[in-house]
Amino acid sequence: AKERLTYQEISRFPAVRRDLSLVLDQQTSFSQVEAVARKYSNYLVKDINVFDIDEGESIGTGNKAYALSFVLQDPEKTLTDKLIDKTMNRLMKMFKKELGAVIRK
């Protein structure tokens, strides 16, 4: 069987990074967070990464905090602040609703 390489054009439009910190129940996994993000972020979220996990006393017993970075990009146009904010606000709302997350400021 011959391998096929898929070619994907690099977008001419810039990617934007937004960070968010969520306090969650200790049992909540990153894969659950990622699933909610993928479900509600439409096509704009290209990548989600955890860059810190805090399980200290400052966030309460039985909790942990994920510091997440979201990379957003539209293949068709440059993203506006309004669309970025709308996407991030929807994600925060759904993290609260589906995972009981508290957004850390």
Q: What CA–CA distance (Å, rounded) separates 90 from 49? A: 18
User: What are the beta bridge partners of residue 71?
Assistant: 17, 47
Cβ(33)–Cβ(87) below 8 Å: no
Sorted by sequence, the CB contacts under 8 Å of residue 43 that are 6+ apart come out as 74
21: exposed, middle or buried (Cβ count in 10 Å: 0-12, 13-18, 19+)? middle
Query: Residue with structure tokens 């990548």?
Result: 47
Q: What CA–CA distance (Å, rounded) separates 96 from 103? A: 8
pLDDT tens across the length of the chain (105 residues): 556 666 556 668 899 999 999 999 999 999 999 999 989 887 889 999 999 999 888 888 899 999 999 999 998 899 999 999 999 999 999 999 999 999 987
